[in-house]
Amino acid sequence: LWRFLIDDDFSGWKEIMCPFSSFFARQDWQPDTAIKNDMIDFPVYSYQFEPKTPGKGNYRVDSLKLTKSADAK
């Protein structure tokens, strides 16, 4: 599993760009079936959102898309 951490230090809506080069492998847990080669393998079959610090609140996602470059909006 790979992570991209976001500091939740804002309110309201915000565009967040998550380049694959900024993801890193989880060191605390990997499933037994994971290929542990320090590379993001494609195709990506799933993703998940989790709070950086567990607590109360809501996350709302308006739009999510994968692009070949950060310039493609």
pLDDT at 72: 59
Q: Is 43 left (phi over 0), alpha (psi -120 to 50) or beta?
A: beta
pLDDT at 70: 64
pTM score > 0.95 for this model? no
pLDDT digit of tens for each residue in the chain (73 aa)?
A: 888 888 888 888 889 888 888 888 888 888 888 877 778 877 777 777 777 777 777 888 888 888 777 665 5
Nearest partner of 4 among 71, 73, 52, judged by Cα: 52
